[in-house]
Amino acid sequence: MYSTNSNTDSGQFNKQSSYSPNTTQPVYNQALSVEIFDELMNGRMINREILGSNGKFEPNPQYKEIMDNLSLYKQQYKMSGYTLVANANLDEGFIYIIKGEAYEISKTELAMKAYCLLLLIGKYLTSNNLTMSKIIDEQGGLTTSDFSKMQTMENIAEILENANMQDDLLKNVKSILVDRHIMYKKVGDELGQDRYILSNAGKAFYDELVEQVEVV
């Protein structure tokens, strides 16, 4: 009464058992993803290069992780109401997030303060006949002595006040540029001096500033 065609049933079973849905997913590093989340949510830039413990620039695994899985990370932050912006320039690659859909980081208060500090740094280089290598070369860097001299420049207190920053220039550099990874701090050279060098993001911001204002 319930006779079946064994060949047909076998064929159907084989077809079903051989079927495997396409479950291919981007391969991401969960440990790095957690680190990245902490960096971005605390307003830090993720640069293509970091300053290693040996004081030399080296590839940043966090940057590589994002770029290798860019669409996945963009979707992740979009679902939380953020826009992940990746500047993939080979020389100045960096990544950051902005709340909402705005792509112009230059419109944020943080950016305005950062540009102000970079402008002061640029004026200091110009007035002392220093080249840009002073702030981008891993062998260079601005010292605390440089910032002390910078602090004495004309109208510095007024400029900082107008930008809603405290009057201690180096403290501003640390809290706005270093803490946000716009600048790196190279701890203790052979003379025991800390040195401050622009990151990939810092270079990009400085270059943009130079295009708009003559500081060099």
Nearest CA to 142 out of 108, 111, 115, 177 is that of 177
Domains and CATH numbers, the chain: 30-103 (no CATH), 107-212 (1.10.10)
With a threshold of 0.85, does the pTM exceed it?
Answer: no
> Which pLDDT tens digits describe the chain residue by residue (216 residues)?
434 444 444 444 343 433 344 455 658 899 999 999 999 999 999 999 999 988 899 999 999 999 999 999 999 999 999 999 998 876 789 999 988 775 555 567 788 899 999 999 999 999 999 999 999 998 899 999 999 999 999 888 888 988 899 889 999 999 999 999 999 999 876 667 899 999 999 999 999 888 876 544
Cα-Cα end-to-end distance for the chain: 95
CA distance 45 to 96: 5
CA distance 168 to 51: 25
Give the Å distances, CA to CA, from 188 to 53, 70, 120, 125, 158.
11, 36, 24, 22, 31
Q: Which residues contact 85 (CB under 8 A, 6 or more apart)?
A: 95, 96, 97, 98, 103, 105
